[in-house]
């Protein structure tokens, strides 16, 4: 599922798509049991965005499984697309929209996200492989704050070997 957040002027361009269906979503706040107004957490993405950027967003509509939101504090042609906890930022390309249409523009953004997302995953896997080190049983004594689970496991295995090798049953 994709969630797109942008300013009001950009949403007006996106609404020109023949596939756009208006959906106003849920209220950004609700009244809790004590009678106080709190953030509405039923729209998980809107709640997440509000917690991260400290500003409310308002749902404008959908195209398939893509949700569109307006953040009134975004004044320029910035477009933020959220895909599986990853954030991608783009600029509105009015020239491309004029030449090929809003549907082509949105499709090109989604295609860019797919390739960039795959690149990010490959890069994070490579970084993860590079940062792994051998388990060191002595790390518990040398630097207790830097101990990993593998270090602890190696320490426990060494301790058990030493204990059972000294005890002759």
Q: Domain boundaries in the chain?
A: 2-130, 133-166
- Give the residue ranges of DSSP H helices in the chain: 8-14, 44-53, 94-100, 102-131, 139-142, 149-166
Tell me the pLDDT tens digit for each residue of 124-169: 887 776 566 677 888 777 877 778 888 888 888 888 888 877 665 5
The overall average pLDDT reported for the chain is 86
Provide the 3-class DSSP secondary structure of residue 147. coil
CA 75 to chain centre: 22
pLDDT value at 121 more than 90: no
Are 105 and 93 in contact, with CB atoms under 8 Å apart? yes
CATH architecture type of domain 2-130: 2-Layer Sandwich (3.30)
Q: How confident is the model at residue 113 (pLDDT cuts 50, 70, 90)?
A: very high
pLDDT at 140: 78
Phi, psi (degrees; rounded to nearest 5) at 151: -65, -45
pLDDT-above-70 percentage for the chain: 95
pLDDT value at 34 more than 80: yes
Are 147 and 139 in contact, with CB atoms under 8 Å apart? yes
- Which helix (H) or strand (E) is 4 found in, with range? strand 2-6
Tell me the pLDDT tens digit for each residue of 96-105: 999 999 999 9
């Amino acid at each position: 599922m994709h969630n797109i957040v942008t300013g009001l002027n950009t949403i007006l361009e996106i609404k020109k798509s023949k596939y756009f269906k208006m959906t106003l979503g849920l209220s950004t706040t609700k009244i809790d049991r004590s009678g106080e107004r709190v953030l509405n957490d039923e729209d998980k993405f809107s709640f997440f965005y509000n917690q991260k950027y400290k500003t409310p967003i308002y749902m404008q509509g959908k195209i398939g499984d893509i949700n569109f939101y307006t953040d009134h504090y975004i004044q320029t042609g910035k477009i933020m697309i959220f895909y599986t906890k990853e954030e991608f930022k783009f600029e509105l390309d009015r020239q491309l929209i004029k030449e090929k249409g809003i549907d082509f523009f949105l499709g090109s953004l989604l295609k860019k996200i797919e390739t960039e997302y795959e690149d990010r995953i490959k890069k994070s896997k490579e970084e993860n492989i590079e940062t792994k080190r051998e388990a060191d049983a002595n790390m518990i004594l040398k630097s207790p704050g830097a101990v990993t689970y593998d270090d602890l496991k190696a320490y426990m295995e060494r301790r058990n070997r030493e204990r059972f090798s000294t005890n002759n049953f």
